[in-house]
Amino acid sequence: MAEVNLLDKLPKGKRNLNARATAKTDEHIRISREYGEQYFDGPREYGYGGYRYDGRWVPVAQDMIAHFDLKPGDRVLDVGCAKGFLVKDFMKALPGLEAFGQDISKYAMMKCEPEVIGRLHLGSGDDLPFPDNSFKAAISLNTIHNFDRAGCVRALKELQRVSGGRAFVQVDSYRTPEQKAVFEDWVLTAKFYGYPHEWIDVFKDAGYTGDYYWTIIE
């Protein structure tokens, strides 16, 4: 288990932190947690503000392929895959790689990229419908924290189970009280979050031995 940044080549999105802090209501949180059209393609205060493919995940996929030494014919799973952008770019970065995704959003499944039709599974990340050790690697980016703490443990156990520990997760975190305050003004969907050492405790409780990194809003 090691801290490693596998998303450093992903372009940084622009966040209007002040606008989100003043506009966010319990209703925004409720609707965003439905992970439907409003969350992906509605106004920014509900989530992404438009979630469209632009190829930005290709260099990330290349780094993950190198990190896990993936070869054509290997199977990789993206838990919380949304519309399947990373799944598509895994296949683009390494022809012959068997990439699959899983997500709780029926809307995302319906709006997925054509190249990944049949490769995405609808369901919850804490109950994966795959056999033990069925993937050479499993990824979960900014998804695990959408469970409560007990759910995070279950989801990490599932990620561990299907990958044999050859996994990578990235979750919401912060290193200072100031970063924590900014994050809490911004967050919509995360139910559990904490300082890195608090996340490490969750990883240990789950028996998770894969790698990890943090999404920190500054």
Best CA proximity match to 170, nearest among 86, 88, 114: 86
Supply φ then ψ for residue 108, to 5 degrees: -60, -40
Mean pLDDT of 135-141: 98
- Whole-model pTM? 0.92
Domains and CATH numbers, the chain: 17-52 (no CATH), 56-215 (3.40.50.150)
Tens-place pLDDT, residues 14-57: 555 555 455 678 899 999 999 999 999 999 889 889 999 999 99
Q: How far is CA 53 from the centre of its chain?
A: 16
CA distance 136 to 78: 12
pLDDT tens, position by position, 169-202: 999 999 999 999 999 988 899 999 999 999 999 9
